[in-house]
Amino acid sequence: MIKNSSFRIASKMKFTSVFFLSIFLSFSSLNSSFLFAQDTESVDNSIVQNGESIFKGNCTVCHAINDVVIGPALRDVHERRSEEWLYAFIRNSQKVIQSGDEYAVNLYKEYNNTLMTSFDFNDGELNSILEYIKSESAKPIEVAVAAESNDQGISSDLQSSVSNTTVNILTFLLITLLIITLVVLIQFNKLSKKYILLEDTISGKKLSESDKEFIEYRFDYKRFLKSDFILGATTFVFTIILVRSCIDGLYTVGIQQNYQPAQPIAFSHKIHAGQYEIDCNYCHTGVNISKSANIPSVNICMNCHNAIETDKPEIQKILTAYEENKPIEWVRVHNLPDLSYFNHAQHVKVGGIECETCHGPIKEMDVVYQYSELTMGWCINCHRETNVDAKGNEYYDKLVALHGKNSKNPLKVQDIGGLECSKCHY
Amino acid sequence: MKNIKIFLIGLFISACAAKDDYPGVEYAPNMYHSVPYEPLSQVKDKEIGSWLDSNPDDNHGEFYNSNPYNNNEMTMREPVPGTVRRSNYLPYRIPKDSIDLASELKSPLEDSEEVLIEGKVIYTRYCIHCHGDKGMGDGLVGVVYKGVTAYNSRAVKDKTEGDIFHTITHGKGRMWAHGSQISIEDRWKVVKYVQTLQKQ
Please state, in angstroms and rounded to a whole number, the distance separating the CA atoms of residues B190 and B188.
5
- Domain stop point among A84, A115, A138: A138
Q: Based on the fold, state whether residues A37 and A131 are members of the same structural domain.
A: yes
pLDDT digits (tens, 9 = 90+) for B115-125: 999 999 999 99
Evaluate whether B170 touches B96 at the Cβ level (below 8 Å).
yes
Per-residue pLDDT of chain A (426 residues; tens, 9 = 90+): 444 444 454 445 454 454 454 444 444 444 444 444 444 555 578 888 888 888 877 887 788 888 787 888 888 888 888 888 888 888 888 888 888 888 888 888 888 777 787 888 888 888 888 889 888 888 887 654 444 444 444 445 555 566 788 899 999 999 999 999 999 999 998 888 888 888 777 777 676 777 777 777 777 788 888 888 899 999 999 999 999 988 888 888 888 999 999 999 999 999 999 999 999 999 999 999 999 999 999 999 999 999 898 899 999 999 999 999 988 999 999 999 999 999 999 999 989 999 999 999 999 999 999 999 999 999 999 999 999 988 888 889 999 999 999 888 899 999 998 999 999 998
The SS3 assignment for B192 reads helix
Among candidates A115, A292, A304 on the partner chain, residue whose Cβ is nearest the Cβ of B141: A304
Domain range for A180 is 169-251
Q: Is the dihedral of CA A359, A361, A362, A366 positive or negative?
A: negative
Q: Based on the fold, state whether residues A112 and A175 are members of the same structural domain.
A: no
Question: How distant is the Cα of A332 from the closest Cα of chain B, in angstroms?
Answer: 7
Evaluate whether A273 touches B140 at the Cβ level (below 8 Å).
no
- Please answer yes or no on whether A337 and B141 come within 8 Å at the CB atom: no
Residues 181-200 of B with CB under 8 A from A: 181, 183
Counted domains in chain A: 3
Q: Is B99-198 CATH 1.10.760.10?
A: yes
- Please answer yes or no on whether A329 and B42 come within 8 Å at the CB atom: yes
Q: Based on the fold, state whether residues A178 and A242 are members of the same structural domain.
A: yes
Q: Based on the fold, state whether residues A41 and A126 are members of the same structural domain.
A: yes
Please state, in angstroms and rounded to a whole number, the distance separating the CA atoms of residues A69 and A136.
17
Q: Based on the fold, state whether residues A174 and A132 are members of the same structural domain.
A: no
Phi–psi pair at B78, nearest 5 degrees: -75, 150
Phi-psi category of residue A179: left, alpha or beta, with phi > 0 → left and psi -120 to 50 → alpha:
alpha
Chain A residues with beta carbon closer than 8 angstroms to that of B34: 338
Please state, in angstroms and rounded to a whole number, the distance separating the CA atoms of residues A5 and A416.
118
- Domain stop point among A251, A266, A286: A251
Please state, in angstroms and rounded to a whole number, the distance separating the CA atoms of residues A367 and A257.
14
Tell me what ipTM this predicted complex has.
0.90
What is the interface size between A and B, counted as CB pairs within 8 Å?
159
Q: Is residue A68 part of a domain?
A: yes
Which ranges constitute the DSSP H helices of B15-105? 29-32, 99-102
Look at residue B2 and tell me whether its pLDDT is greater than 70.
Answer: no
Please state, in angstroms and rounded to a whole number, the distance separating the CA atoms of residues A197 and A195.
5
Look at residue B172 and tell me whether its pLDDT is greater than 70.
Answer: yes
Which ranges constitute the DSSP H helices of A306-375? 313-324, 344-345, 355-359
Q: Map out the domains of chain B as residue ranges.
A: 22-78, 99-198
B17 in contact with A, Cβ within 8 Å: yes
Phi–psi pair at A341, nearest 5 degrees: -110, 140
Q: Measure CA A356 to chain center.
A: 17
**Nearest chain B alpha carbon to A252:** B17
Q: Is residue A266 part of a domain?
A: no
Q: A313-324 and A298-305 are packed helices; what angle lies between their axes, rounded to 10 degrees? A: 130
Q: Based on the fold, state whether residues A53 and A130 are members of the same structural domain.
A: yes
B72 in contact with A, Cβ within 8 Å: yes
- Please answer yes or no on whether B126 and A281 come within 8 Å at the CB atom: yes
Alpha carbon separation from A39 to A33, A43, A364, B150 (Å, rounded): 10, 7, 57, 35
Q: Based on the fold, state whether residues A49 and A133 are members of the same structural domain.
A: yes
